[in-house]
């Protein structure tokens, strides 16, 4: 995979026309570098991905509220694959989760973008929470490459 570097990212945050903020569109803050999100905090994931494993993507934006799972517990399930740059969210009994097609989408808690949908074992499987990129560990990189 090729590293994008500063030149790409300085262009990536621009859109062709400004967003119109309203009841369905709003800005979200970024956490500070290494800001901790407490285990158990309720976070909202949104996306147009599949509503079940192997299903087709949705034409309606979906949302699910999930608790943040301790990395220690998540690492037991994922055999040590969870790093400090990752965080997990989900229920021990499964049922609700991000799914195929949601990758890159937001995990928001307390009006801050704490995670980005990344990977997991299936969708909503018991004992397998979803895995997200931990934005707080990348905050300085985001700032230096985007100016945000």
> Percentage of the chain surpassing pLDDT 90?
77
- The model's pLDDT over 122-133, given as tens digits with 9 standing for 90+, comes to 999 999 999 999
Kindly tell me if the per-residue pLDDT of 2 is higher than 50: no
| Secondary element (H or E) of residue 13 | none
- The model's pLDDT over 30-63, given as tens digits with 9 standing for 90+, comes to 999 999 999 999 999 999 999 988 899 989 999 9
Is 28-137 a domain of CATH 2.40.10.10?
yes
pLDDT on residue 11? 44
CA gap 76, 87 in Å, rounded:
13
The residue assigned the tokens 């989900």 is 90
- The model's pLDDT over 59-86, given as tens digits with 9 standing for 90+, comes to 999 999 999 999 999 999 999 999 999 9
Average pLDDT over the chain reads 90
Q: Whose CA is closest to 30, among 103, 97, 109?
A: 109
CA gap 57, 35 in Å, rounded:
33
Kindly tell me if the per-residue pLDDT of 10 is higher than 70: no
pTM: 0.86
Mean pLDDT over 100-121 rounds to: 96
How is the chain split into domains, by residue range?
28-137
Kindly tell me if the per-residue pLDDT of 8 is higher than 50: no
CA gap 9, 142 in Å, rounded:
9
């Amino acid at each position: 995979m090729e590293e994008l570097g500063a030149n790409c990212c300085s262009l990536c945050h621009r859109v062709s026309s400004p967003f119109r903020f309203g009841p369905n569109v709003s800005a979200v803050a970024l956490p500070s570098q290494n800001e901790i999100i407490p285990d158990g905090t309720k976070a909202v994931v949104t996306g147009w991905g599949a509503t079940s494993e192997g299903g087709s993507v949705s034409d309606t934006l979906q949302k699910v509220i999930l608790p943040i799972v301790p990395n220690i517990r998540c690492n037991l399930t994922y055999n040590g694959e969870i790093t400090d740059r990752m965080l997990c969210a989900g229920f021990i009994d499964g049922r609700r989760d991000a799914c195929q097609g949601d990758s890159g989408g937001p995990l928001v808690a307390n009006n801050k973008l704490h995670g980005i949908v990344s990977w997991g074992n299936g969708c909503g499987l018991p004992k397998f929470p979803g895995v997200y990129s931990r934005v707080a560990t990348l905050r300085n990189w985001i700032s230096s490459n985007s100016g945000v």
